[in-house]
């Protein structure tokens, strides 16, 4: 039997619980990784138990052998969850392909782009060390122009590393712009939890066809090929920790926007990227033409999630020495939910103590991959073999390599998840409580992604303040998405109510400029990754929304 330390077994068991919110998955890599690992252990055990010495069997021995054969057959089926062989897994771990190499390979499947540009300034180091940043000219990528064979060209494709303020803060950027015309609009794409911009490879070409639009895709801070600075939380109170974790991402996006000289943009985010897109709209009002949310996490409210204890500072600090004590059983003890005075706490969900302990200790599924060493690629294959099964084999393999190369990088932005989501994947500060503020905020600096209520009585000072007059918001869900479409429909109700309140007190000019609108659309034959599973239909839908932005801009400008 494959022997694993007790703590490793515990970690793998923890990953069995389907947290179903982590944006990369229709079912999570924790489940796939752990299922695969235990299938392997079961297989090893079964093989050892069914070896016979060739002696004649009695009836009871034949029965035992038949049962063993059945077990072995079942084990073989379980092993299908774990398709990568030990040999290939070790070979991939040893080869240590960098994220720059694997991202380049994925982007090479973009139509008309045979040789995509790939800056190699990040993504050099492996095995959990800090991702290297090399700003030398030799590591930069020259833009690539597609023209003669590009029916929608000429277009310029570029890979860049955008430096932000502070130490070791860079965002990996991929962009597409049309040449010989002015850029009037910008579409910016944010990926989900632990993923990278390469997952949008089926969308770049189609969504960059529209005249006068420039497309950007970004790796969020501490994820993908962006730099991996330490993630720390300084706030002491519960709400402050949530807001600080959110701001860690959205402040970087705002700094990037300023550096790129973009006045306004259409922002699209998938899953955790969708959550952050909403937070950005609340903290930085007036910067969005439209908000597109592809299966966003964190919309619904759950009584357990909003009362569950936050990770302590000591637990958060444990991530700095990730698994240094992996051979011991001394895991941090789980804190009980905070009780408010005079009120009964909501009933606790039946989550195991080890599950909530590891979650609150900020041990991510990617920690398991990093700790698994040569077993890592094999564990990841349990997820990638299913997630990309509908794709051509060559593309599926490229996405597997890309995923593993990102999963094994040093943990950084992934550690924000425990501050934003509670065990069970519901938000600690659910967006349904705040989403009504999208497009209704005062046009002034905000310290955090919180709501300016449109219905509160206006003070003398408020008369001088200018408020947003709404922005269009679109929710996309797959028709077999594990993310509940009800979250989007509840948001329609909340935002509609806020719109009615705002219009009740609106001036004639505010009425003329009113631009608020929200809707939910369902993509056929798609799961959580709506942009990938139903790429063709999704691209058509998003292109319609981009054209709608242009129509609204002409109307607001008084033009037909």
The residues that are catalytic are 271, 481, 528
Contacts of 277 (CB under 8 A, 6+ apart): 190, 267, 268, 269, 291, 292, 293, 296
Cis omega (within 30 of 0) on the bond before 222? no
User: What does residue 541 show for φ and ψ, rounded to 5 degrees?
Assistant: -65, -45
d(CA 349, CA 334) in angstroms, rounded, equals 14
d(CA 388, CA 395) in angstroms, rounded, equals 8
d(CA 139, CA 532) in angstroms, rounded, equals 30
Which candidate, 134, 83, 167, places its Cα nearest to that of 396? 83
3-state secondary structure of 523: strand
Q: How far apart are the first and last CA of the chain?
A: 73
Do 18 and 33 form a contact (C-beta atoms < 8 A)? no
Which candidate, 470, 527, 504, 125, places its Cα nearest to that of 294? 527
> In what side-by-side order are the strands of the sheet with 265-270?
144-146, 155-163, 170-178, 213-218, 185-190, 265-270, 288-294, 472-478, 517-523
Burial 305-323 (b: 16+ CB within 10 A, else e): bbbbbbbeeebbebbeebb
d(CA 385, CA 389) in angstroms, rounded, equals 6
CA distances from 282 to 6, 269, 399 (A): 44, 15, 33
To 5 degrees, how large is the angle CA 290–CA 293–CA 296? 155
Contacts of 379 (CB under 8 A, 6+ apart): 32, 33, 36, 37, 82, 368, 369, 372
Which candidate, 207, 202, 184, places its Cα nearest to that of 289? 184
Greatest alpha-carbon span in the chain: 98
Token code pair at residue 312: 């302590």
d(CA 15, CA 128) in angstroms, rounded, equals 19
Helix, strand, coil abundance in the chain, percent, nearest 5:
45, 10, 45
Helices (H), 50-136: 59-79, 86-95, 99-107
d(CA 447, CA 283) in angstroms, rounded, equals 7
């Amino acid at each position: 039997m494959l022997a694993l330390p007790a703590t490793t077994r515990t970690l793998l068991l923890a990953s069995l619980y389907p947290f179903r919110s982590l944006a990369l998955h229709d079912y999570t890599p924790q489940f796939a990784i752990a299922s695969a690992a235990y299938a392997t252990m079961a297989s090893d055990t079964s093989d050892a138990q069914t070896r016979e010495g060739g002696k004649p069997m009695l009836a009871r021995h034949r029965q035992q052998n038949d049962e063993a054969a059945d077990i072995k057959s079942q084990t073989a089926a379980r092993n299908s969850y774990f398709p990568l062989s030990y040999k290939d897994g070790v070979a991939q771990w040893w080869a240590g392909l960098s994220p720059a190499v694997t991202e380049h390979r994925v982007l090479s499947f973009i139509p008309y782009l045979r040789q995509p540009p790939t800056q190699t300034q990040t993504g050099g180091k492996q095995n959990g060390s800090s991702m290297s940043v090399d700003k030398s000219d030799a590591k930069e990528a020259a833009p690539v122009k597609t023209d003669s064979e590009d029916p929608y060209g000429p277009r310029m494709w570029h890979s860049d590393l955008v430096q932000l303020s502070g130490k070791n803060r860079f965002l990996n950027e991929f962009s597409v712009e049309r040449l010989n015309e002015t850029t009037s609009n910008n579409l910016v794409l944010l990926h989900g939890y632990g993923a990278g911009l390469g997952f949008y490879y089926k969308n770049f070409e189609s969504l960059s066809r529209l005249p006068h639009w420039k497309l950007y895709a970004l790796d969020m801070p501490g994820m993908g090929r962006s730099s991996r600075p330490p993630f720390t939380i300084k706030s002491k109170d519960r709400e402050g920790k949530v807001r600080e974790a959110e701001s860690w991402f959205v402040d970087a996006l705002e700094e990037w926007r300023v550096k790129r000289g973009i006045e306004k943009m259409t922002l699209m985010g998938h899953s955790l990227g969708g959550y952050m897109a909403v937070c950005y709209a609340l903290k930085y009002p007036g910067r969005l033409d439209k908000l597109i949310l592809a299966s966003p996490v964190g919309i619904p409210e759950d009584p357990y999630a909003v009362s569950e204890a936050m990770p302590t500072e000591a637990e958060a600090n444990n991530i700095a020495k990730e698994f240094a004590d992996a051979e011991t059983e001394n895991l941090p003890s789980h804190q009980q939910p905070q009780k408010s005075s005079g009120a009964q706490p909501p009933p606790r969900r039946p989550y195991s103590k080890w599950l909530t302990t590891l979650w609150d200790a900020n041990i991510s599924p990617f920690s398991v991959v990093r700790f698994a060493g040569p077993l890592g690629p094999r564990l990841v294959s349990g997820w990638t073999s299913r997630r990309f099964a509908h794709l051509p084999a060559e593309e599926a393999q490229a996405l597997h390599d890309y995923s593993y190369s990102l999963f094994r990088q040093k943990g950084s932005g992934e550690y924000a998840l425990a501050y934003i989501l509670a065990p069970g994947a519901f938000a600690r500060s659910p967006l349904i409580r705040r989403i009504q503020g999208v497009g209704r905020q005062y046009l002034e600096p905000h310290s955090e992604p919180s709501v300016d209520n449109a219905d509160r009585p206006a003070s003398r000072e408020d008369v001088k303040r200018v408020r947003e007059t709404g922005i269009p918001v679109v929710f996309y869900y797959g028709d077999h998405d594990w993310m509940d479409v009800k979250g989007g429909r509840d948001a329609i109700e909340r935002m509609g109510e806020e719109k009615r309140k705002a219009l009740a007190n609106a001036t004639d000019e505010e009425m003329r400029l009113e631009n608020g609108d929200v809707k939910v659309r369902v993509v056929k034959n798609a799961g959580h990754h709506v942009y990938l599973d139903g790429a063709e239909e999704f691209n058509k839908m998003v292109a319609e929304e981009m054209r709608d932005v242009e129509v609204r801009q002409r109307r607001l400008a008084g033009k037909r």
